[in-house]
Amino acid sequence: MARKISVKQAINEALDLEMRRDPTVIVLGEDIVGGAGAPGEIDAWGGVLGVTKGLHAKHGNRLIDTPLSESAYIGAAIGAAACGMRPVAELMFLDFMGVCFDQILNQAAKFKYMFGGKAKTPVVIRAMVGAGFRAAAQHSQMLTPMFTHVPGLKVVCPSNAYDAKGLLIQAIRDDDPVIFCEHKNLYGLEWDVPAESYAIPFGEANVMREGEDVTIVSYGLTVHRALEAADTLAKGGVQAEVIDLRTLSPIDWDTVIESVENTGRLVVVDEANPRCSIAGDIAAHVAQNAFGALKAAPQMVTAPHTPVPFSPVLEDLYIPSSDAIVAAVNKTTARALAA
């Protein structure tokens, strides 16, 4: 039965349902229980923003509070996965991946390949991404391109609660390591979500809005900026098709190419920094595979190539805005008219 719940509730519900369904699913991370063991403090936090709140009461010691030692517990999660468990490790902020990147890059991502398919690593690493939370340069980065670059990893970044629940359930059931990126500014966004379990397959983009004049490709928070931009553009008679990638690895090239072949124009929106980004990847792929369909040069709307600013004013300017997306679309149509 569908009802409206937030992205945060959807993630909590996905974890709860999968822990009920499969006894090998465990959850570990810093403060995911919060003060466990101290009188009156059990289940006080549920993680830094309360996403796992309530799960300890339901599943007890299958939720494990870890020390502040990412390299140790991410490694432990990967090892447990290789030994038959299905761990979900919470890395808090994806920015903290630096200290445990070897475990992810050189171990988890490569086990299946290096052991000829005889080993599998069904681990999910959940982490918050993105700016706009006044958390400054070390807690606000959109590091999705760094993981998408690594073969062997699957990378997911939902834009709404329905997708968050279905993609996380798929991630937990998947036999490969999955980096599950949760934009912290989406946690409160409510959406229609069935109470039942369901899994959304990876590699299937979602066409959020159909249009024939321009294709706007995005993921995560900026999908909503793209939809705002599409509303603005529609008032001026430009119909934008808005594609939410949902998963960055695997990525649904077919939907992107099919759309561009229909519209002839491409704008990619990515909150990551512009160099070697998802935006650059998509623009290059489309230029290589659908050049003949393009009526104008693909445009990228990204964050600037700087760390996330501490100043609230600058931070708001940092995230791609709907106005910037409209301007990029106008650039593609103006160039087409000039031609």
Q: Which residues bind other proteins (CB under 8 A)?
A: 1, 162, 166, 194, 196-201, 204, 207, 210, 254-255
* Type of residue numbered 85: M
Give phi and psi for 177, each to the nearest 5. Answer: -65, 135
Does 139 participate in catalysis according to the annotation? yes
Question: How far, in Å, CA of 106 to CA of 244, rounded?
Answer: 30
Q: Are 193 and 10 in contact (CB under 8 A)?
A: yes
**Residue placing its CB nearer to other proteins in the complex, 20 or 275:** 20
* Residue 5: both structure tokens together: 């719940």
Q: How far is the CB of 209 from other proteins (least distance, A)?
A: 9
**Residue placing its CB nearer to other proteins in the complex, 92 or 167:** 167
Q: How far is the CB of 198 from other proteins (least distance, A)?
A: 4
Give phi and psi for 43, each to the nearest 5. Answer: 65, 25
Q: How far is the CB of 196 from other proteins (least distance, A)?
A: 5
Q: Which of 139, 149, 285, 305 is catalytic?
A: 139
Q: How far is the CB of 11 from other proteins (least distance, A)?
A: 17
Q: How far is the CB of 116 from other proteins (least distance, A)?
A: 28
Contacts with 41 (C-beta within 8 Å, 6 or more apart), sequence order: 34, 35
Phi-psi group of 34: left, alpha or beta (phi > 0 → left; psi -120 to 50 → alpha; rest → beta)? left
End-to-end CA distance of the chain: 51
Q: Are 328 and 283 in contact (CB under 8 A)?
A: no
Question: How far, in Å, CA of 67 to CA of 261, rounded?
Answer: 51
Give phi and psi for 17, each to the nearest 5. Answer: -65, -40
Three-state secondary-structure class, residue 26? strand
DSSP string, 248-288: EES--HHHHHHHHHHHS-EEEEESS-STT-HHHHHHHHHHH
**Residue placing its CB nearer to other proteins in the complex, 197 or 333:** 197
**Residue placing its CB nearer to other proteins in the complex, 28 or 227:** 227
**Residue placing its CB nearer to other proteins in the complex, 71 or 289:** 289
**Residue placing its CB nearer to other proteins in the complex, 37 or 196:** 196
CA R_g for the chain: 20
Tokens 């690593």 belong to residue: 121
Q: Are 256 and 219 in contact (CB under 8 A)?
A: no
Would you name the residues annotated as active-site residues?
139
